Amino acid sequence: MNRQGILITDFVCLEIDLEDDITQLHNSVELELNKYGKPLRWAITTVDYEKDKVILEAVVTKEGN
List, for residues 37-53, the tens digit of each pLDDT value. Answer: 999 999 999 999 999 99
Q: Where are the beta strands (DSSP E) in the chain?
A: 6-17, 38-48, 53-64
pTM tops 0.85? no
Looking at the predicted structure, is the pLDDT value of residue 64 above 90?
no
What is the C-alpha to C-alpha distance for residues 38 and 10, in angstroms, rounded to an integer? 10
Looking at the predicted structure, is the pLDDT value of residue 10 above 60?
yes
Looking at the predicted structure, is the pLDDT value of residue 2 above 60?
no
pLDDT at 9: 96
pLDDT at 1: 42
Q: Is residue 12 part of a domain?
A: yes
Q: Is residue 1 part of a domain?
A: no
Count up the domains in the chain and report the number.
Answer: 1
Q: Is residue 60 part of a domain?
A: yes
Query: Exposed/middle/buried for 36, CB within 10 Å: 0-12, 13-18, 19+?
Result: middle
Full residue range of the structural domain in which residue 41 is found: 6-64
